Structure formats: C-alpha cells, structure tokens
Amino acid sequence: MSELPDDRLVERVGNGEQQALLHLYDRYAGRVYTLALRILGDSMSAEEITQDVFLKLWSRAHSYLAERGPLAPWLLTIARNTALDRLRLERRRPAVADDAEPDETWKDIADEGSASEEARWRSLHFAVQALPREQRQVIELAYYQGLSHSQIAEHLGWPVGTVKTRLRMGMEQLRQHWLHDENGSEKTKTGSPDV
Amino acid sequence: MNANCQPFRDLLPAYALKALDPDEVRMLENHLKTCPDCQAGLEEFRAVSNGLMFALPPKAPPPRVRARLIASLAAAQAPAPSTRRAWPIWQLAGGLALAILLVLNVSTLSQLQALQRQQATLTKHLQTSQTALALVAYPEGRTLAVTGQQAAGTLILNSELKNGVLFAWGLETLDEAHAYQVWLIQPDGRRVSGGLFRTEPGQPFVSVVIPSSRPFSDFTGLGVTIEPAGGSPGPTGPKVLGTSF
C-alpha cells in the first residue's frame, strides 16, 4: 500500500483505513512538523499541530478533491493556517529571522536531479537565505508569522513604505529565481529541442 | 501591462503573501477582475509563496507524535462516509429491509451471551487497571512509551516487582490461529515469554497484565510479536510493539 499515489491513499483514508493514513503520515509528517515548528518556534506545539493536521485529514478526507491539486500543499496549508491561528490566539511575539547559519539538513540530502521538486524547494530555501537580511525578515514575518505590512512595520519599527519596498524587492528576486529554476527544469524534462 | 498597472503590480508580492492591509486588498482585487496581465503576474508570485511552504529543510517529528496519532485514531470514530458516493435508493431500501430482518432475528439468548462476554471483558479491564494503579502508586513505578509500526502503547511497571501492565492501541484483531505474545528481554538477549493476549473486534484498546517469575529489573526491554495461538518458546513472528527499560 505504501507505493500507492496520494489520491488513492486519501480515498482509502476516506473509507476508514488507518494504515493508509499512517502511510501519508510517514510521507508528509516531516514537512508538516517543520513548517509548524518554523511558525511556532516550539517543538511541543509543532508536535500538536502535526497530530491535528493528520487528524483533520482523517476526518475530512472526503472533502479533499484530487483534481484541485496535489495533497502536499493541501496538508501544508492546513498546517500553516492551524499554526497561525494558534500563534494569534496566544498573541505571541513574532520571532524575527536571525543570522543563524541556514539549516544544514538539506545539504545532506542527495540531489535527485535538477528536475525534481525537492531540488526546486531546496534551491528556493537557499535563495531565501541568500536575500539581504532586511528583505528576508519582512518576507518571513509575512509568510511564517502571518503579519501584514503595517504589523511588520510596527513590529520592526520601520516606516510602512520601507517594509513594502523590501518585501517587494525580496519577492521579486525569489520570483526571478523560481522562474529561472522552472525554465531549467523544463529543459531537463524535455531535453534540448534545438539540437 | 499598461502604465496604470504599476501601482497594482507593486502590491502583487504582498498580496500573494497575504500581507496586504484590508483596504489595499479591496483595491487590488477590483483591479484584478479586469486585468489579465496582473492576474498572470500574481500567479508567478503565488508560485513563490506556495514554494515557501516547502522551502524548509524537512525534519522528522519525534516518534511519539506517530504513537499519539495512532492512539487518537483508535479513540476517534472512523471518518464520515463520503457524500459524493450516494447509494441508489433501491440499495438503501434493501439495506433497511435487511437491517430490520436482522434486528428481528437476533435472539434473546445471543444478546445475553454478548452481555456476558462484555461483562467478562469489562471485569478483566477493571482488574488490569487496578493493577496498573497499584503499580504507579509505588515510588518506583514507571511509565514507558511502547512503539510499533502501526500500534503504540504504554507500559507501566515497577522494577522491583514481578508484574507490569501493558496498554496498547492500534493492534489488529488476529484470526483464531494466532495471538500476541509478550517477550521480556534479558541482558544476554534471550527472550522470556510474558504471556499471550488477543484483541477483541471493535475494541480500540487492549490492556494486559504481564506476569513475570523475576523482577522487571532483571530485564532490559519488552517486545510483542504475533505467534501461533498457543504461543512459541521464542519469538518467530513479526514484532508489533517494543520498548527498552
């Protein structure tokens, strides 16, 4: 069963098969936990969010429509929303990105080829890390802490205009990086038609 | 994209991150309704925004999260059946008729037997729980997580005593020819049987007292395997649960 694609496993989860849910857990729990941990900054809360996300999948499997998109973004969106809700509920002070070394974990993961999604996400991770600190801060506060322009400005003590400019510049760099990767992936996938 | 688009285009990155303030959201959404260029630009920023969900080096959660999930699943009801797969009316009518027939044909005797079985199970659970309570009441009482691929549980023991109690969730109901066998692991690696148990259909939890001829301090761990119904002198089947002391 572990070889089944996501949509078939979700169908089985919808029919009450716990083993199918555990296969999906083994496939995606790492990503869910990591995202929740990044948002909440607390491993115990991240563990609870991870469990909540898969219990939601258990109870709502029938509401997942494969034709609307892959399962992983669906799960991670639930994880992000659930974690941000908890963050707002607890009114925690957002964690500002620091200058710590980027996580080394990905450097140890074998590259499965430039066309793989894993390689694109890893590439995006390093692109975010490579942004100027001020740009990275505003993007991370917006995405991982759910703050608006004005909330970020208040939190960092910067003018709103500065926040907007830095966020725009950072996102533009990431967009260029993403599109460049996409073109590279297409070339790898389709070969070189010009030859 | 025309020159009038520029102020809106500047808002697209923040919109994709959901970082715009409400008045800006309204203004941009009105513009997006009539501007295909800005819609296309938004999709590119949305791709980046969605990518940020994945742009973190994945880190596995501790095994206890999986164990707790299994325990929660065992306690929770199965998911509601999909409304997208409605049954035809004749099938519903047939099912209803069958259900009525079944209800009418259940004899008083079988109900009584079921109640007696239930009472015996509840009595056993009560005795097991009382044993567990007694064990944790001692100062040396310990509670350990027991983990497996599809099941999880808790072991309550006292190193100086000869009884432990195992609570487990998520174990499959075995056929008549098989049973779960508990093994106590000696420091030299040899396994000593800690008894056999079975799970009842529809019972999410199982609790068993594990008797031992020696104190638990003589052992380094515990395992549970699937064995033939009468038990085995040593583990031969797949391991479903385990823990170290």
Read off the pLDDT of each residue in B156-180 and give the average, rounded to a whole number. 84
The pLDDT tens digits for A50-72 are: 999 999 999 888 877 777 778 89
pLDDT above 70 for B159: yes
Both A98 and A88 in one domain: the answer is: no
Say what the pLDDT of residue B89 is. 57
Q: Give A98-102 contacts, CB < 8 A, sequence gap 24+.
A: A99/A133, A102/A126, A102/A129
- Of A30, A62, A92, which residue constitutes the final position of a domain? A92
Tell me the percentage of chain B whose pLDDT exceeds 70: 77
Q: Which of A46, A72, A175 sits opposite B44 (nearest CB)?
A: A175
Confidence class of residue A111 from pLDDT cuts 50, 70 and 90? very low
Q: Which residues in chain B are contacts of A146 at CB distance < 8 A? A: 18
CA nearest to A136 within chain B: B52
Task: Provide the domain limits for residue A5.
Answer: 1-92
Give CA–CA dist B245/B231, Å, rounded.
24
Q: Which residues in chain B are contacts of A144 at CB distance < 8 A? A: 52
Answer yes or no: do B59 and A105 touch at CB < 8 A: yes
Answer yes or no: do A25 and B69 touch at CB < 8 A: yes
Say what the pLDDT of residue B1 is. 56
B34 Cβ neighbours under 8 A, 6+ residues apart: none
Say what the pLDDT of residue A181 is. 72
Both A77 and A104 in one domain: the answer is: no
Q: Which amino acid is at B66?
A: R
- CATH code where residue A74 lies: 1.10.1740.10
Give CA–CA dist B59/B52, Å, rounded.
15
Tell me the percentage of chain A whose pLDDT exceeds 70: 79
Residue B75, SS3 per DSSP: helix
Give CA–CA dist B10/A96, Å, rounded.
24
- Of A57, A92, A127, which residue constitutes the final position of a domain? A92
- Rg (chain B; Cα; Å): 29
How many residue pairs from chains A and B have C-beta atoms closer than 8 A? 159
Both A7 and A87 in one domain: the answer is: yes
Indicate the CATH number for domain B120-244: 2.60.40
Hey, which of A173-187, B104-118, B130-144 has the most confident mean pLDDT?
A173-187
Read off the pLDDT of each residue in B45-58 and give the average, rounded to a whole number. 91
Read off the pLDDT of each residue in A187-195 and give the average, rounded to a whole number. 34
Confidence class of residue A113 from pLDDT cuts 50, 70 and 90? very low
Say what the pLDDT of residue A180 is. 81
- CATH code where residue A145 lies: 1.10.10.10
Answer yes or no: do A54 and B69 touch at CB < 8 A: yes
Q: Which residues in chain A are contacts of B68 at CB distance < 8 A? A: 47, 51
Can you state the angle between helices A149-156 and A133-145, rounded to 10 degrees? 120
Confidence class of residue A192 from pLDDT cuts 50, 70 and 90? very low
The answer, as to whether pTM is greater than 0.90, is: no
Q: Any CB–CB contact under 8 A between A80 and chain B?
A: yes
Lowest-pLDDT choice from A36-50, B37-51, B65-79, B167-181? B65-79
pLDDT above 80 for B52: yes
List the beta bridge partners of residue B163.
B211
Tell me the percentage of chain B whose pLDDT exceeds 90: 27
List the beta bridge partners of residue B222.
B184, B243
3-state secondary structure chain A: CCCCCHHHHHHHHHCCCHHHHHHHHHHHHHHHHHHHHHHHCCHHHHHHHHHHHHHHHHHHHHHCCHHHCCHHHHHHHHHHHHHHHHHHHHCCCCCCCCCCCCCCHHHHCCCCCCCCHHHHHHHHHHHHHHCCHHHHHHHHHHHHHCCCHHHHHHHHCCCHHHHHHHHHHHHHHHHHHHHHHHHHHHHHHHCCCCC
Say what the pLDDT of residue B34 is. 92
Q: Which of B19, B72, B73 sits opposite A149 (nearest CB)?
A: B19
Q: Which of A51, A76, A164 sits opposite B14 (nearest CB)?
A: A164
- ipTM over 0.90? The verdict is no
Instruction: Tell me the shortest Cα–Cα distance from B162 to chain A, in angstroms.
Output: 35
CA nearest to B72 within chain A: A55
CA nearest to B57 within chain A: A106
Both A97 and A192 in one domain: the answer is: yes
CB contacts under 8 A, B 63-122 vs A, are 64-66, 68-70, 72-73, 76, 78-84
Answer yes or no: do A164 and B72 touch at CB < 8 A: no
- Of A68, A92, A116, which residue constitutes the final position of a domain? A92
- For the four alpha carbons of B204, B145, A26 and B228, in that order, the dihedral sign comes to negative
Both A99 and A21 in one domain: the answer is: no
Read off the pLDDT of each residue in A19-36 and give the average, rounded to a whole number. 94
Lowest-pLDDT choice from B163-167, B174-178, B200-204? B200-204
Q: Which of A50, A120, A171 sits opposite B61 (nearest CB)?
A: A50
List the beta bridge partners of residue B205.
B169
pLDDT above 80 for B173: yes
Read off the pLDDT of each residue in A83-101 and give the average, rounded to a whole number. 64
More confidently predicted of B178 and A99:
B178
Confidence class of residue A194 from pLDDT cuts 50, 70 and 90? very low
The pLDDT tens digits for B94-125 are: 666 666 656 666 556 667 677 777 777 677 66
Lowest-pLDDT choice from A104-108, A125-129, B163-167? A104-108
Instruction: Tell me the shortest Cα–Cα distance from B239 to chain A, in angstroms.
Output: 17
Structural domain spans, chain B = 12-54, 120-244
Structure tokens at B192: 């000593």
Say what the pLDDT of residue A101 is. 37
Helix ranges (H only) for chain B are 6-9, 12-16, 22-32, 36-54, 63-75, 89-105, 108-137
Q: Any CB–CB contact under 8 A between A35 and chain B?
A: yes
Neighbours of B124 (CB within 10 A): 13
A116 Cβ neighbours under 8 A, 6+ residues apart: none
Answer yes or no: do B60 and A33 touch at CB < 8 A: yes
More confidently predicted of A85 and B110:
A85
Give CA–CA dist B226/A69, Å, rounded.
40
Both A81 and A15 in one domain: the answer is: yes
Q: Which of B54, B82, B150 sits opposite A22 (nearest CB)?
A: B150
Both A112 and A183 in one domain: the answer is: yes
pLDDT above 90 for A118: no
pLDDT above 50 for B167: yes
Q: Which of B19, B50, B64 sits opposite A147 (nearest CB)?
A: B19
